[in-house]
Amino acid sequence: MVHLSSKSKQAIVQKVLSRDNSSSMEQIAKTHNIGYSTLQRWVKDYRTGNVPASQPVKKQAVKDVSLADKFSHLMATASLDDVKIGSYCRQHGLFGFQLQQWKESFMTNTNEEKQQQFISELHSLRAENLQLRREVRRKDSALAETAALLVLQKKTALIWGDSVED
């Protein structure tokens, strides 16, 4: 028996609460391989605000699945009906709503989280680049000043000679 995490339970309950008239609670319960009475209890608990504590998930967590694995699961279930998808999900420790989420994320080209990460990385790299340019400019001017002083020192030595003061 696989125990669902509280996030998974909440996602299923949200699916029940936001469903259209074409799908019933019984169909959703069958799709996710849970009992109808269990789903009714979850909905009742959710409506009363009595959400149970999270139980550990026995199978691989959603975040642990790589993009390649997600794609292979989607390809494997593309031509299956709901009953066979449920069987496939049970065999691989997945949930039907996960497959739907993965499909939606693959269908949309904009992955906002990755874009935000790239934008923040770009800003930090630009700031670092600006700081390094300032440092190089400062060091170049210090080097030029030192070179000018050395040249002037040599020229004064040639004009007036080495001064020997006692």
Integer Cα distance of 106 and 71 in angstroms: 8
Among 19, 114, 41, CA closest to 4? 41
Q: Which residue pairs from 87-93 have beta carbons closer than 8 angstroms and sit at least 24 positions apart in sequence?
A: 89/33, 90/2, 90/33, 93/2, 93/58, 93/59, 93/60
Integer Cα distance of 147 and 141 in angstroms: 10
pLDDT score, position 123: 94
Residue range 79-100, pLDDT digits in tens = 888 888 888 888 888 888 888 8
Residue range 62-85, pLDDT digits in tens = 557 788 888 889 899 988 888 888
Which residues contact residue 62 at a Cβ distance below 8 angstroms, ignoring those fewer than 6 apart? 98
Domain limits, the chain:
1-58, 62-109, 112-158
Residue range 14-55, pLDDT digits in tens = 888 877 677 788 888 888 888 889 888 888 888 887 765 444
Integer Cα distance of 75 and 69 in angstroms: 10
The pTM score is 0.34
Among 15, 13, 4, 38, CA closest to 101? 15
Do 28 and 15 touch, CB atoms closer than 8 A? yes
Residue range 102-149, pLDDT digits in tens = 888 778 766 677 778 889 999 999 999 999 999 999 999 999 999 999
